[in-house]
Structure formats: C-alpha cells, structure tokens
Chains A and B, each alone.
Chain A
Amino acid sequence: MNLVRSFLAICVMALCLAEPASAQRDPILVPEVSQHEVQVRQGFVGTELLLFGAILDPSGARAGRDYEIVVVLKGPTGAIRVREKERIGGIWINATTTDFRSAPSFFAVASSAPISEIVDERTAAIYELGLGFIQLSPTGTIDPEEQTKFTEGLVDLRQREGLYKEDMGGVQINEQVLYQARISLPSNVQTGTYTAETFAITRGRVIASAIAEVEVRKVGFERFVEVFSQKQAFFYGLIAVFLSIFMGWMAGRVFAMM
C-alpha cells in the first residue's frame, strides 16, 4: 500500500515539475526505488527491489512518443583477478590469469524489449546496456580474444551465482507514462552503495536518464560480528575456541545423564 501511495505521489510531483520546463524538448524521467536501504540481518534471504517511475514530456502530461525503458542496477565495483584452468599433464591447474580493475559485484539489466532491438551496439556499449557490455577495465592481457574469453568466463560464473543477470522484457510500461521493473537481490550480495540507472530510449537514442541509489548494509548482530572479527581478531578467535569447547563439554554432560 505504501508503495502505491509513494508511486502516486511521484506521479503528481512529476506533473508539477513538468509544467515550467516546457522550453525543453527532451522528456523528463522521474525514477524511484521501493527501498533506499536494504538491511542485511539474521534471516536475510535476499530481497526484491521494485524500480519504478514516470516518463513525461515537457509539453504535456503524457509523453506521446513510444519509449523503451532500460534499467541497470549495479553493485559496488572492485578489482579482481580471474584465473582459467587448463589441463596440463593430465590434471586441471590454474594456467592463465587476467585482472579487471572495476568489476561490479552485482549487475542486473532489465528492459522493456530486447536490447538489440532498442539500440545499436555502440550505444549499448556506452551506457553498459547488457551483460556483454559491462565496463570491466581489464589489465594484463592486451589480446582482445583472450580478454573476451575471460570476460565471458566471469559473466557466466557470476550469472550462475545469481549476481549478474539480464531480463529482456522485465520492464513494463503503462500508457507510455509509468514504468516498473522488479530485480531480485540474492542473499550473497556484497554490501555497499548500489546505483539504479534508468534510460529512456526512442529510435535508438538515449533521450533521458536518471539515477537512484540503494544502500545495502549489514545491521544489528551481523554487523557486530563482521566488525568484531576484523577489529578484535584475537578475542574473536578466543570466543570461537571457548564456544566450541563449551558446546562439546555440554554435549558430553547432557548425554552422560541420558
């Protein structure tokens, strides 16, 4: 219910905003996310984010043209090393490696139609529209063929972990005004700031884009455990040891009585 109300509020807001900006030709995109903060606590099994909003033409309340919408949700990026196994002397060992300076820990794309039908490859590459166009900043091997191989390996691996995904048709557009997309975050997501970028596309051209942020963080006991294990490593270890000795001893006592 709350969601619906905020959704309506945004539509009203967008209508008000649309009025004075009539000199401009490009439409206005008003994005919103169902949750600006995802709390990771005990029992967290992942969550579903609803990314929604409105597209408005400055001249009128309704954007009369046909729009396609692409939503990209991206997690915090980090430097990683990818290794490839090869069969050498009968056993599979790690042979070649390559480094990526900015691999996102999470990357999900949802669109109202297949990306290849909306934009050309160049535009898709500029705006990172699709798993094939993630800007990973590879270092190390310069050979483009090698790079593609590693990129594909990484994308495939993370896709199976549920961290990278593509949903062609995951965005619904109603009356050329309202759009919504659902993207699920699995429980193994990394904490940090996630950015949800929305693109409005007409005739292969991105005509409006807007960003919303989502903060994913650990709270309560989970946050405490993480900080404690980092800051007080020695005591954390001692607690783990005492806990295991105590539980082993207790079990012995309990079973001895039985």
Chain B
Amino acid sequence: MDVYLPIANLSVNGLVIVLLGMITGVLSGLFGVGGGFLTTPLMIFYGIPPTVAAASASTQVTGASVSGVFAHRRRGGVDYRMGTVMVVGGIFGAGIGAILFRWFQAIGQIDIVINVLYVLMLGTIGSLMLKEALQTMLPAEKGISRSVKKRRHHPLVTALPLRWRFYGSGLYISPLAPLILGIVVGILTMLMGVGGGFILVPAMLYILGMNANVVVGTSLFQILFVTIATTMMHALTTRAIDIVLAVLLLLGSVSGAQIGARIAQVARPEILRLVLSSIVLMVALRMLFGLGFRPDEIFTVVSL
C-alpha cells in the first residue's frame, strides 16, 4: 500500500508505517514510555527526513499516551499535582530545547548531538534496567524472595528548599525536584523527538522515590501535555509535521497501546523489564556504531 507523504515529499509503504506505530504503541501500553526513542530512529532509517520524523513522532506519542492516561485515571493512577508541576517544567524545557536545536543546527552538529544524546541516555538507562531486571529475576528463580527495598528518594531531592505534599505519590518533597526533572525531559523531548518516558519513569522511581502505582500514569500525563506543546512548537517553527505520516503512525500506535496494556496485565513485570532494557540497549548500540565506527553517510546535504 503506497502512501504519498505531502510534507516529507516521498512515498512510503503505509503498512510498514502502521506496523512501526504498532510496535511503539505496544511498548507504550506495556511500559508507559512513549516509544518515540524507537519510532524516530526507525523512520530516519526508512528514509524519512530527520526533522519530519521527529516532529511527526511527537504527534504520535500524544495519541499513544491519551488512551494510557484515560486507562490509568480510571484506577486512580495519576498524581495530578505532581504531573502538573512536571508539565510546567516540561513546556519550559521544550522552549529551551527549541533554542538549542536551532543553535546546533546553525553550527551543523545537530545530528551528532542527537546521536550522542541517544547513546548516553539509552545506554545508561538500558544497562541500569537490565541490571535491575536480572537482579530481581535470578533470586526469584532460586525460589528466594528478595527483601523489599525501602523506598527512599535521592539525597539531593531532600536538600531542595520548600516542601509540598504530593498525596498520590506519597511524598513530602520540594516541587523544585519534579520541576527540574520536567525541564530536563522537555529539552530532550524537543531535541531527540521522544516523549521522554524512558527517562521519566526511572527518575520518578529512583530519584524522586514516587509510589510505584502512580509512576506510569503520571509519566503518561506529563508526556501527553509536553508532546502537545512540542507538536505546536514544531508546527510553528520547523513546519515539519506530516499529518499523513502522523495518522498512519497513530493508527498503529493507538491500537498497539491497547494491546500492550492487556499484555501488561498478564505478563511478569521482570520479563517485561528485561525485554524493554534489551530493546533500549540495542538502539543505543546501533547509534554508537554510527558514531564511533562507521556513520551511515559521510556527506550530508542541507538546503540554504
């Protein structure tokens, strides 16, 4: 099924794009990550111009997180207070990201910056998750239950002034911590064309020490609003959103998200974590290969 993309200026196989959307949708339903970290590089690999890929992926992540947010809201899995603070930080961060994007584009290193960020972010988080998954899996197989780790947030978080009560998350911490986290994720969203869930979820768990029940829902809540902001920013600045591409991706991802959510109810969480961490590490290794050994292209062209 050939579909012509009016903004990307080329024709693609529509089914491939729908399938791509579905894979990321399943991931988002399973783990509460947007899946942008996978869609954007795969679309670029397929031949879609990088800016169009990143811009349209942000639209897709919005769609994938909507149904997730609704699902989590029904069972009270969203801490709105925490979410709102992070959204404010995220939108602010997206603005900073847009400025950085322009600057790196002007000096001609934007693709390198994106690749380095991918390798660093995905590499670190992937290996942390893999370690965690293996640690929980190994004793479980021997039949010894591991002692439950005490929830505690990072010492830096306690050092921040001003404290608010976040009932849903079960925390009494400074709102500056989620705000800063939101800003960082917002910058990355704009630069890398990702939702940032793969950073948010571990950060909420291990740095803020949030109640695990509300982590995925709140992360999706933040992603939803920040990707709306980045979509608007792309529409107004890069003008690279391809609505036909976005619809194809959405078709796959919204249904994939529902499938993912069902699998999540029956599958063992440590297996899921193992799968996610391997995917994340594979993408990171692929990027590292391009950066350190052989880039896809030696020459690149931009129009003036």
Q: Given the known A-B contacts A43-B3, A249-B66, are A237 and B241 also in contact in the complex, defined by CB atoms under 8 Å?
A: yes
Which residues from chain B contact A85 at a C-beta distance below 8 Å?
A: 295, 297-300
B11, B65, B236: the one contacting A248 at CB < 8 Å is: B65
For the complex, give the distance between the alpha carbons of A11 and B254 in Å: 58
For the complex, give the distance between the alpha carbons of A222 and B138 in Å: 55
A52, CB-defined interface residue at 8 Å: no
A44, CB-defined interface residue at 8 Å: yes
Check A80 against B112 for contact (C-beta < 8 Å): no
Q: Given the known A-B contacts A92-B291, A248-B254, are A157 and B4 also in contact in the complex, defined by CB atoms under 8 Å?
A: no
A9, CB-defined interface residue at 8 Å: no
Which residues from chain A contact B304 at a C-beta distance below 8 Å?
A: 78-81, 99
Q: Given the known A-B contacts A78-B303, A85-B295, are A94 and B108 also in contact in the complex, defined by CB atoms under 8 Å?
A: yes
For the complex, give the distance between the alpha carbons of A90 and B67 in Å: 43
Which residues from chain A contact B112 at a C-beta distance below 8 Å?
A: 91-94
A226, A239, A248: the one contacting B64 at CB < 8 Å is: A248
A42, A82, A230, A241: the one contacting B239 at CB < 8 Å is: A230
- One of B94-102, B151-159, B244-252 at the interface: B244-252
Check A83 against B7 for contact (C-beta < 8 Å): no
- One of A28-36, A120-128, A148-156 at the interface: A148-156
Check A157 against B297 for contact (C-beta < 8 Å): yes
- One of B76-84, B227-235, B274-282 at the interface: B227-235
0/1 per residue, A44-56, Cβ < 8 Å to B? 1110000000000
Closest to B60 in A: A244
For the complex, give the distance between the alpha carbons of A81 and B295 in Å: 19
Check B6 against A244 for contact (C-beta < 8 Å): no
Cβ of A250 to closest chain B Cβ, rounded Å: 7
Closest to B261 in A: A255
Which residues from chain A contact B70 at a C-beta distance below 8 Å?
A: 249, 252
B2, B60, B66, B290: the one contacting A43 at CB < 8 Å is: B2
Closest to B116 in A: A91
For the complex, give the distance between the alpha carbons of A44 and B60 in Å: 24
Interface size class of A (residues with CB under 8 A): 35 or more
- Restricting to A156-199, which residues have a CB under 8 Å from any CB of B? 156-158, 186-190
Check A250 against B7 for contact (C-beta < 8 Å): no
How many cross-chain pairs have Cβ atoms below 8 Å apart between A and B? Answer: 178
Main secondary structure of the interface of B (DSSP, over half): helix
Check B108 against A90 for contact (C-beta < 8 Å): no
For the complex, give the distance between the alpha carbons of A93 and B60 in Å: 30
Which residues from chain B contact A255 at a C-beta distance below 8 Å?
A: 67, 255, 258
- Restricting to B23-62, which residues have a CB under 8 Å from any CB of A? 47, 59-60, 62
0/1 per residue, A36-70, Cβ < 8 Å to B? 00001111111000000000000000000000000
0/1 per residue, A237-258, Cβ < 8 Å to B? 1111101110111111001000
For the complex, give the distance between the alpha carbons of A41 and B7 in Å: 12
For the complex, give the distance between the alpha carbons of A250 and B11 in Å: 27
A22, CB-defined interface residue at 8 Å: no
Which residues from chain B contact A240 at a C-beta distance below 8 Å?
A: 59, 231, 235, 241, 243, 246
A positions within 8 Å CB-CB of B? 40-46, 78-85, 90-94, 97, 99, 150, 153-154, 156-158, 186-190, 218, 221-223, 225-226, 229-230, 233-234, 236-241, 243-245, 247-252, 255
15 A/B residue pairs, CB under 8 Å, sorted by A? A45-B4, A78-B304, A84-B299, A97-B108, A157-B297, A218-B6, A236-B241, A241-B228, A243-B59, A243-B246, A248-B63, A248-B65, A251-B258, A252-B71, A255-B255
5 additional A-B residue pairs with CB within 8 Å, beyond A43-B4, A92-B292, A233-B235: A83-B301, A92-B291, A156-B299, A157-B297, A247-B247
